[in-house]
Amino acid sequence: MINVMLVDDHGLVRNGIKRLLNDVDGIAVVAEAETGEQAIKQVRKQQPDVILMDISMPGIGGLEATRKISRSLPGVRIIAVTIHDDDPFPARLLEAGAVGYLTKGCEVREIIKAIRSVHSGKQYITPEVAHKLALTLVNKGEKSPIDRLTQRETQVMLMIVKGSTNKEISSKLCLSPKTTSTYRYRLFDKLGVLNDVELTRFAIRHGLIKENLSH
């Protein structure tokens, strides 16, 4: 039996995937979480084999949760399930420790295939994403501005554009307020923006968030 944890801030999404997976022989949903923080807390207690991890969630989000879980429990196989199929998300998630990458528009049979593949020790990336990753490697000279950012800077940026304050970012990422402010202004400098509003517009323009998340 493959024990699966679902991590998504939308209950309807979790319930829909849970109903589908619980009808599949050899797969059981044993835990759910609606934030990255909850996933980190539950993973040791529930001991899932595979985690289906949403990326765009309140708090630290799926990228940071993936990084922390992969470092502390490398045996847990994490599949990112997200609306994003463009760089830098696939590359950043694989660097953080994910072994699978699916978009939310995929069919249930592909989710099942991905779960079984990563549980057997393989990596699974949806063909569309794999193609774009391959093109990115071929066109190394055409880098996105996001490539200039470290993983931590990317995480701070995503929290800023989703409305987190310096205090909230410092608390959730265990950073001092001064360090958080340093990250903020380093982001402004690297990306050529002047304030949080311009940073949010930049994130929307590059497909890092959907426009309705900025309101």
CB burial of residue 75 (10 Å; 0-12, 13-18, 19+): exposed
pLDDT (0 to 100) of residue 84: 64
pTM of the model: 0.68
Answer yes or no: same fold for 2-138 and 145-214.
no
Segments of the chain scoring below 50 in pLDDT:
135, 137-139, 141-142, 212-215
Structure tokens at 163: 């409305």
pLDDT (0 to 100) of residue 137: 47
d(CA 124, CA 118): 6
Instruction: Please compute, for residue 94, the number of CA atoms within 13 A of its CA located in the half-sphere on the CB side.
Output: 16
Distances 151 to 19, 49, 158 between C-alpha atoms, Å:
34, 25, 11
d(CA 158, CA 149): 12
pLDDT (0 to 100) of residue 59: 79
Q: How far from each other are the two terminal CA atoms of the chain, in whole angstroms?
A: 42
Instruction: Please report, as a single letter, which amino acid is at residue 99.
Output: V
pLDDT (0 to 100) of residue 96: 86
* Cβ atoms 69, 92 nearer than 8 A: no
d(CA 78, CA 49): 9
Which CATH architecture describes the domain 145-214? Orthogonal Bundle (1.10)
d(CA 145, CA 27): 40
Give, in degrees to the nearest 5, the angle at Cα 213 between 41 and 157. 65
Structure tokens at 124: 């699974």
Contacts (Cβ under 8 Å, ≥6 apart) of 117: 100, 123, 124
User: What would the pLDDT profile of 145-175 be if each residue is shown by its tens digit?
Assistant: 777 788 788 888 888 887 888 898 998 888 8
Taking the domains of the chain in order of start, what are their residue ranges?
2-138, 145-214
3-state secondary structure of 62: helix
d(CA 96, CA 80): 11
Q: What's the CATH fold of domain 2-138?
A: Rossmann fold (3.40.50)
pLDDT (0 to 100) of residue 28: 94
